[in-house]
Amino acid sequence: MRVGIMGGTFDPIHLGHLLAAERAREEAGLDEVWFMPAGTPPHKPNAPKANADERLAMVKAAIAGNRRFRAEETEIRRGGTSYTIDTVRELKLRHPDCDFFYIIGADMVQYLPNWMRIDELAALITFIGLARPGYSADTRGLPPAIRASVVSVTMPQVDISSTTIRNMRASGQSIKYLVPDAVLAYIEENRLYES
């Protein structure tokens, strides 16, 4: 089985994430996409605004009903900061029959050389890089060994970020149609991101 891992903070998950996952799934011929929220790093000024349980609940609400999308809880259960290489090694041990792909937005692609043990990681998986407004999807600046394991996928450009959504909520603006209805309901019920 070909599995795409979509890692992120998901604070909150939004339509850009879902569309990116669906484009990657179809273009790369993936059987499933597993959404993997990151653990909450301890004592960071830029820590997520919603806690781990809330971010996971929003991911689950967003993907409910899509049998090709799943929530992957490895990093959020481990808590704190995880290195992708450790997570991928664990996933491969647990699912030896799966081929893993790692889905990232264009804003992340340029930083790949800084990822922990990137050469080892690039040998284990293929990155799927998705175009994102304001960021170049150009991989030519990457070292050849990393570049060789990145495939670029286009998507209708969706200029939505979790940061924008949090700011809009804080200033009292509507975020309807930026997130799935079930996520909006969860955010309102739990009064997340209010100022």
Backbone φ and ψ of 130, nearest 5° = -110, 135
How far apart, in whole angstroms, are the C-alpha atoms of residue 57 and residue 176?
18
CA angle 58, 59, 63 (to 5 degrees): 115
149 binds ligand ATP (CB under 6 A): no
160 binds ligand ATP (CB under 6 A): yes
- Per-residue x/- marks for ligand ATP, 128-147, CB under 6 A? --x-x---------------
8 binds ligand ATP (CB under 6 A): yes
Residue 162 CB partners (closer than 8 Å, separation 6+): 9, 10, 11, 12, 13, 14
Contact 162, 11 (CB under 8 A): yes
Cβ distance to ligand ATP smaller for residue 2 or 135: 135
161 binds ligand ATP (CB under 6 A): yes
- Per-residue x/- marks for ligand ATP, 62-101, CB under 6 A? ----------------------------------------
Place of tokens 């990137």: 118
Chain residues binding ligand ATP by CB under 6 A are 8-11, 16-17, 20, 104-105, 107-108, 130, 132, 158, 160-163
